[in-house]
């Protein structure tokens, strides 16, 4: 546990590197992992123990994220697909977009109310989806570059925005986490 520094379980079972991990914020507590072996691992606890493997993706699973309430989680993969699962049972609810993108999907982010999901892809688009209908609401096509911020020497693979939206945190294959002022850069 974070307060005591004691272990609450070990994440084992996937045969290749894990690209993404997320924690379900409500009971039953769960951890989901997305791996380069094309699977999602589901762990229940604490202590966290392996519960099941989901094998819906045909290429690397790049991102897994629980909705803010924990009622669902989404997975995104290099196969261009985004799947939606029940947060308590891990049952497949359906596919978003069928497929969601023409290129690999690198990230997913939930709207705070859990009703919409934003996906980002190597096809140079970000798409906003209605979770209930699993339909596309809008698409953002990446155009020409407006600014270039230096801070990592390898690709950025993950980012997060602080609750007050004043700081952006990025993680990279260079092994560093960098914080950026959202208005001025690094």
User: Are 63 and 89 contacting, i.e. CB atoms less than 8 angstroms apart?
Assistant: no
pLDDT of residue 172: 76
pLDDT of residue 65: 97
Quickly state the pLDDT bin for 176 (edges 50, 70, 90).
confident
Token pair belonging to 114: 């859990």
Structural domains in the chain plus CATH codes:
18-143 (2.130.10.10), 146-186 (no CATH)
User: Are 135 and 129 contacting, i.e. CB atoms less than 8 angstroms apart?
Assistant: yes
Rounded Cα distance, 118 and 60, in Å: 19
Least confident among 9-13, 38-42, 144-148: 144-148
Average pLDDT of span 42-50 = 89
Quickly state the pLDDT bin for 185 (edges 50, 70, 90).
low
Using CA atoms, how far residue 10 sits from 45, 53, 73, 144, in Å, is: 11, 15, 21, 43
Has this prediction a pTM greater than 0.85?
no
User: Are 129 and 97 contacting, i.e. CB atoms less than 8 angstroms apart?
Assistant: yes
User: Are 114 and 129 contacting, i.e. CB atoms less than 8 angstroms apart?
Assistant: no
Listed residue (119, 85, 84) closest to 100, CA to CA: 119
**Whole-number percent of the chain with pLDDT over 90:** 55
The residue ranking higher by pLDDT, 185 or 60, is: 60
Q: What digits encode the pLDDT tens for the residues 85-130?
A: 999 999 999 999 989 999 999 999 999 999 999 999 988 889 999 9
Give yes or no for residue 77 having a pLDDT over 60: yes
């Amino acid at each position: 546990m974070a307060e005591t520094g004691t272990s609450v379980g070990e994440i084992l079972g996937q045969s290749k590197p894990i690209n993404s991990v997320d924690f379900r914020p409500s009971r039953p507590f769960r951890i989901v992992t997305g791996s380069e072996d094309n699977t999602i691992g589901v762990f229940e606890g604490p202590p966290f123990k392996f519960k099941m493997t989901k094998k819906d993706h045909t290429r690397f699973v790049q991102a897994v994220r629980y909705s803010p309430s924990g009622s669902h989680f989404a997975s995104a993969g290099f196969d261009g697909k985004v799947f939606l699962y029940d947060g308590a049972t891990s049952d497949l609810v359906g596919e978003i977009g069928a497929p969601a993108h023409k290129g690999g999907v690198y990230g997913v982010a939930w709207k705070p109310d859990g009703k919409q999901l934003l996906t980002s892809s190597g096809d140079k688009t970000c798409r906003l989806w209605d979770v209930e209908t699993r339909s596309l609401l809008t698409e953002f096509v990446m155009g020409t570059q407006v600014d270039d911020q230096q801070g990592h020497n390898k690709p950025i693979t993950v980012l997060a925005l602080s609750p007050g939206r004043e700081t952006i945190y990025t993680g990279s294959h260079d092994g560093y986490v960098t914080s950026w002022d959202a208005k001025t850069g690094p």
